[in-house]
Amino acid sequence: MKLRIRQKVGLVLTAAGAIAALAWPVWSHGNADLSNVVQGELTAGEATAFATGRNAFSMPLPTLDDAERARFAVGNSFFRRNWVEAPASTTARDGLGPHFIARSCGGCHVQDGRGAPPEVRKGQHEQPVALLMRLSIPGTGAHGGVVPDPVYGDQLNNAAIQGVQPEGQVQIRTQTLRGRFADGTPYTLQKPMYRLGQLAYGPLAPGVMISPRIAPQIAGVGLLEAISDQDILANAAAQAEAPGPIKGQVNHVWDDFAQTLRIGRLGWKANQASVASQTAGAFLGDIGITSPQHPDEACMPSQHDCHVAPKGSQGKAPEIDARTLSDVIFYQATLAPAARRNVADAAVQRGQALFAQTQCNSCHRPSYTTGAAPYATLSSPKVQGLKIWPYTDLLLHDMGPGLADGRADYAANGQQWKTPPLWGVGLIHDVNGHRRLLHDGRANGVLEAILWHGGEAQPAQEQVRRLSAQDRQALVAFVESL
């Protein structure tokens, strides 16, 4: 950082005019000519947040007006603050559980950021907080979705309010995998394996499938949901036509707000179509908060203690009302992606070229121009018409047996994962103090994440393994500049 600044100053002294002239198009809003080819600092045009450090994922779109800013503040409060057990003195925030994983959205998405799995040391670990276990049994359920486990539902809740049993505990073992880059440099990867234990309501169904999912950072989701369906379909069509193994697939999933199937774009398997539907689902599934979309607690038929536990809002209304829920959705939808860093760094620029050369960008598509938000009252008109740089095609890809969870989710099969966006990846450490990536946080850093790529991404991964150490570093430097 310091070095970079000195370099800049030095350049300024010798050629101030030239730098200013070069710099202008990159910083100037609306001058897209140069930035169409190579991304500059902006990640979302005039809606880019210039932020690093702990708050990097917590910025509002700078284009919000005063009323929207106030709504953002209110939504933020309900995103972050704990829900408490009913009955409680605070009626605005009671109704936690009966089963839950976290007490607030921010419990897993700390600082609107990304969770990490617990460290496993000598076979011992704490219970995960931001890593949840989805459950289902073979078959096709409502709207083409999963069939939940008959006793535990579609996710394991490892916490509960007083008087109710937590459903069970997650047990993680890890296996060390060893490999070498083409230049002989050795590396290791940690492969996690999951078991569920201390089950409170008897055994899981035979053939139950478990899918671990880490809580990703939030900033930018309101722009991802504003990418047009046509753009996503065009990604799939282009990949179908192109030679090579990359054949992305669109997921179609039930949306609680549209009450119909829509193209999935959020979640590790593109199993959510909108921030709204994701949020209402997570309130119920993860915190145990009922809403107009999900009026009943997620107690399974045989969970007697869950059924008789006290409910929030004196049991008379959903525990979060429509307006407050809409504020929490609005808050997330208007969190701004942060500006890139180190754009002029030589290694970063080299890495950017390598990113294209090794065909990372076949799936991690750099940019789009946003359309309208799916629900006008649950987002801001400011999300529309922005040149955004998320680096994803929002499609499902077979990532090989190494990453497979073996659990289908709507159209996604047990080896498919959605291409996760890469914007913000380099700021996770600033915000959350770790560098854990992939659907269960198994990768420690960008390079490990690349090494886990298999299936359709196998050739790209092998290309990266053949890079020199210097080029590998450059590629990582580029991804971390995002």
Partner 1 sequence: MFQRPILHIALSSAIALSTLSALPAQAQTADTSAVVQQYATLVYANYHDVLSSAQTLQKAINTFTAAPSAQGLEDAKNAWLAAREVYGQTEAFRFYSGPIDSDTGPEGRLNAWPLDESYIDSVSGKPKSGIVNNPKVKITKGNLAKLNERGGEENIAAGWHAIEFLLWGQDQSDTGPGQRAFEDYVDGKTANADRRRAFLNTATQLLIDDLGTLVKAWQPDAKNYRAQFEKGGIASVRKMIVGMGSLSRGELAGERMEVAMNTQDKEDEHSCFSDNTHRDVVNNAQGIANVWLGQYKRLNGSVVQGASLKDLVAAKNATVAERVSRQMAQSVANAQAIQAPFDREIVGTQDAPGRLRVQKTIDSLVQQSKDLTEAAATLGITKLAQTK
Which residues contribute to the site for partner 1 (CB under 8 A)?
Answer: 1, 4-5, 8-9, 11-12, 16, 19-20, 23, 27, 41, 48-55, 58-60, 62-66, 69-70, 72-74, 76-77, 80-82, 84, 87-90, 92-93, 102-104, 106-107, 110-111, 129, 162, 336, 339, 341-342, 430, 433
> Is 66 or 296 the residue whose CB approaches partner 1 more closely?
66
> Is 216 or 248 the residue whose CB approaches partner 1 more closely?
216
Amino acid at 22: L
The residue written with tokens 């995002």 in the block is: 482
The residue written with tokens 């933020």 in the block is: 76
Residue 77 Cβ vs partner 1, minimum distance, rounded to whole Å: 4
Distance linking the first and last C-alpha atoms of the chain? 16
Residue 460 Cβ vs partner 1, minimum distance, rounded to whole Å: 30
Phi, psi of 52 (to 5 degrees): -135, 180
Cα separation, 5 vs 183, in Å, equals 33
> Is 115 or 148 the residue whose CB approaches partner 1 more closely?
115
Q: Are 367 and 25 in contact (CB under 8 A)?
A: no
Residue 172 Cβ vs partner 1, minimum distance, rounded to whole Å: 17
> Is 300 or 343 the residue whose CB approaches partner 1 more closely?
343
Residue 58 Cβ vs partner 1, minimum distance, rounded to whole Å: 6
Helix (H, G, I), strand (E, B), or coil: what is residue 19? helix
> Is 58 or 251 the residue whose CB approaches partner 1 more closely?
58
> Is 89 or 175 the residue whose CB approaches partner 1 more closely?
89
Residue 60 Cβ vs partner 1, minimum distance, rounded to whole Å: 6
Residue 281 Cβ vs partner 1, minimum distance, rounded to whole Å: 20
Element (H, E) at 231: helix 229-241
Cα separation, 253 vs 271, in Å, equals 6
Cα separation, 393 vs 385, in Å, equals 18
All residues at 6 or more sequence positions from 263 whose CB lies less than 8 Å from its CB, including other chains: 229, 232, 233, 250, 251, 252, 253, 270, 273, 394
